[in-house]
Structure 1
Amino acid sequence: MRWGIIGVGNVTEVKSGPGFQQAERSTLVAVMRRDAEKAADYARRHGVPRWYDDADALIHDDEVDAVYVATPPDSHRDYAVRVLEAGKPVYVEKPMARTTAECEDMIAAAERTGLPLFVAYYRRAMPRFVTVKKMLDDGVIGTVHAVAVHASKPAVIDDGADAPWRVRPEVSGGGHFVDLASHTLDLLDHLLGPVTKVTGHAARFGRATLAEDVVSASFQLESGALGSGLWSYGTQEQRDEVRILGTAGSLQFSTFGQEPILLTTADGERRIEAPYPATVQLPLIQTVVDELTGHGTSPSTGRSAVRTARVVDAVLADYRAANGIALP
């Protein structure tokens, strides 16, 4: 597969971009960024043959077979639809888009063109979480009854209009909850099945942007297991913890850290080493390439990612309405 990338910002430097060169049956042949000088610099540093400062030029490059969209979420729908309508598969950064409605537009384009749409919820394929899923599927902790998520970190100092796009709802869909918690919510969908019911509350204590910075949620999974989540992005404590409780034990791990997975059963505690791969998106990129070349399937598609978008929208619905945040 010959890949092109639209939007070669920071996420493509180490996390994703090299993965298209490292995956089997895959190569990176073109990159695009609106800043021509930065596009050329990226191409030079990463050994990419061609660069563009116009997205359509890359999309319609006859030597590009598939496109990775790595821009901020407010342009995901537009670029994904354009790629699909040009007759090419698309792999889109997470969150898939700002809202469920935008995600559904992208899925409709994929169905209309008969082409694959993948989303970069790459934790689904990381060895760390493959290990967790295998233990759950093997019944190591018995039947899962409950899930608890607790994430907190100190506030990032943001300056209004100059704030990073991740905390500007008109660009990202919200704040760090949309950007970071979506990873955890999507991972739980993968590990334990879809969320069928969810309620939530959000608040804002920082005042630089309209982004929520404290969120709580209560949810139920398709299996009947219950879950709760608390995310706070303005407190002194730094925590990243997911606990899955079953009839025969529990699993504890972080979404973003590399510390060992903690398995607790009647036999005691066991710590399982589970470091990150050097290129964190490589395992998922390989599954995408495998599917596109007839060697397997990918676990992260538009259909799976839209479920996470629905959960995020449901949790933030009241907050968005109360704060006048109107998104497509």
Structure 2
Amino acid sequence: MKEINWGFIGCGEVTDLKSGPAFNLVQGSHVEAVFSRSGEKAKSYASRHNIKRWYTDAQLLIDNPKVNAVYIATPPSVHATYAIMALRAGKPCYIEKPLAASYEDCVRINRVAEETGVPCFVAYYRRYLPYFEKVKEIVESGKIGKILTVQVRFAVPPRDLDYKQNEQLPWRLQSHISGGGYFYDLAPHQLDLLQNFFGVIVKAHGYTANRAGLYNVEDTVNAIFTFENGLNGSGAWCFASHESGREDRIEIFGKEGRVAFSVYNYAPIHLYTSAGRQDIVVPNPDHVQLPIIKSVIEDLQGFGKCECTSISATPTNWVMDRILGKI
């Protein structure tokens, strides 16, 4: 069995529980080295997770002959830079979502992946979670009949950091780093799931506004979109709502019923049919990225196939850029 020795570029919060430990839980895989621009962070992460080497220079990590695959867990603005460095070094990539901070950068990554023939995967891990596999099963089973339309509704109150206008705002609110505001960070999972269910979105249009005035990027987004199969959908996102308006919901309406589910809090799936409402509880693994990481590793080892590639992830950036008026 081919041993996959990972190098982490980035060691932030997401790598502590959601993803990092999972790389050591799959047979034939382990974490060899980690990079952060902060030597203190890199050293601390390596110590806490029993990783042999740490770096403050990403090129040194990529050049490490023992590292043969790279996990990129940085803000999106540098995804393309690090991915292209790794791909040109012949080392497969697994990149946090969204693939990049713009559709244009996604195209750059895909071009280099094609030129080099090196695999590139993206962490749309919700596709592989039992909770969302159950939703997809319900949709494809015909239990709610022919699908008529889909709605995304998401609203959360401002975070404490959002009020600190005179201080450094979180990177997610700096569009040159994140690609947009909170929409560019949170909507990708929702849009990727819907495209996994119904196919690629081929038309999209949006309206954005900054209603609360807490920062300079959009805090409300409304959108309409059309899938390649002709299905229409809509979405409404608000990142400055009152607590009473908090919502995390996608509803899929069919001729024979509807299914409603959350994306971030994994509330019970509600299936509505002529027989009434059925509440379906589906637990997920402790390390939510474990199923997709296992799929990526098995693909790299030559006896599996991970469909969550940079090619399949690119339409989500296209849709977001269309909604925000970037393209």
- Residue 225 of structure 1: aligned partner: 231
Deviations along 1:199-237, whole A, 9 cap, x unmatched? 110111243432211000011112211101000011111
Identify the residue that residue 45 of structure 2 maps to in structure 1: 42
Q: Does the CA-based 8 Å contact 1:168-1:209 persist in structure 2? A: no
Query: Which whole-Å CA distance do the structure 2 matches of 1:25 and 1:250 have between them?
Result: 42
CA distance in 2, matches of 1:268, 1:245: 15
Q: 2:58 aligns to what?
A: 55
The match for 2:119 among 113, 116, 126 is 116
TM, length-normalised to structure 1: 0.94
Among candidates 239, 252, 265, match of residue 244 of structure 1: 252
Give the Å deviation of 1:275. Answer: 2.5
SS across alignment from 1:131:
helix
* AA aligned opposite 2:118: L
Give the alignment partner of residue 298 of structure 1, picking from 287, 302, 306: 306
Instruction: Please identify, of 258-267 and 303-312, the stretch whose mean Cα deviation from structure 2 is larger.
Output: 258-267
**Equivalence for 2:171:** 165
Q: Secondary structure at the match of 1:300?
A: coil
Q: What aligned pairs does 1:39-188 form with structure 2 within 5 A after superposition?
A: 39-156=42-159, 157-160=162-165, 162-188=168-194
Corresponding residue for 2:208?
Answer: 202
CA distance in 2, matches of 1:176, 1:296: 34
Q: Distance in 2 between matches of 1:74 and 1:206?
A: 26
- CA-to-aligned-CA distance 1:102-137 (integer Å, 9 cap, x gap): 000000010000011111111111111111112222
8 Å Cα contact 1:124/1:299 also seen in 2 = no
SS of 2:259 mapped into structure 1: strand
Which one-letter code corresponds to 2:107 in the other structure? Answer: E
CA–CA distance in 2 between the matches of 1:247 and 1:193?
A: 19
Does the CA-based 8 Å contact 1:158-1:164 persist in structure 2?
no
Give the whole-Å Cα distance in 2 for the aligned partners of 1:188 and 1:266: 25
- 1:252 maps to a residue whose letter is A
> What is the CA–CA distance in structure 1 between the aligned matches of 2:164 and 2:171, rounded to whole Å?
11
State the Cα deviation string for residues 140-184 of structure 1 (Å, max 9, x = none).
Answer: 222211001110011122434501001110100111111001110
Alpha-carbon displacement from aligned partner over 1:76-121 (angstroms, at most 9, x marks no partner): 0000000000001001111111110000000001000001111111
Structure 2 counterpart of 1:194, which letter?
A: V
**Once the 2 structures are TM-superposed, how far is the Cα of residue 272 of structure 1 from its aligned partner?**
0.9
Shift in alpha-carbon separation, 1:146–1:25, aligned structure 2, 3 A = same
Aligned residues, how many?
319
Aligned mates of 2:141, 2:117 — CA distance in 1: 35
Pair 264,18 (structure 1): closer, same or farther in 2 beyond 3 Å: same
SS of 1:227's partner is: strand
1:212 aligned residue (215, 218, 234)? 218
Counterpart amino acid of residue 171 in structure 1 = I
Measure, in 2, the Cα distance between the counterparts of 1:48 and 1:158: 37
Q: Which moved more, 1:289-298 or 1:182-191?
A: 289-298
1:280 counterpart letter in structure 2: V
- Superposition TM-score, scaled by structure 2 size: 0.95
Structure 2 unaligned residues grouped into runs of 5+: none
**Unmatched 5+ stretches in structure 1:** 322-328
Q: Using the alignment, how far apart are the partners of 1:109 and 1:158 within structure 2?
A: 40
Q: 1:274 aligned to 2:282?
A: yes
The separation in 1 between residues aligned to 2:18 and 2:38, in whole angstroms, is 21
- What is the root-mean-square deviation in Å for CA atoms of aligned residues? 1.3
Q: Please name the residue that 1:7 is paired with.
A: 10
| 8 Å contact from structure 1 (residues 128, 275) kept in 2 | yes
Question: Contact (CA 8 Å) 1:39, 1:53: kept in 2 or not?
Answer: yes
1:249-289 CA-to-partner distances (Å, cap 9, x unmatched) read 21100010121111111111111112332001111111111
> For residues 100 and 106 of structure 1, do their structure 2 counterparts lie closer, same or farther at Cα, with a shift above 3 Å needed?
same
Q: Residue 262 of structure 1 corresponds to which residue in structure 2?
A: 270
Percent of matched pairs sharing the same residue: 42
Matches of 1:23 and 1:5, distance apart in 2: 16
| CA apart distance, 1:299 | 2.7
Q: Give the alignment of 1:298-317 within 5 angstroms.
A: 298-317=306-325
- Partners of 2:157 and 2:307 lie apart in 1 by 33
The whole-number CA distance in structure 1 between the counterparts of 2:147 and 2:305 is: 27
The separation in 2 between residues aligned to 1:221 and 1:179, in whole angstroms, is 22
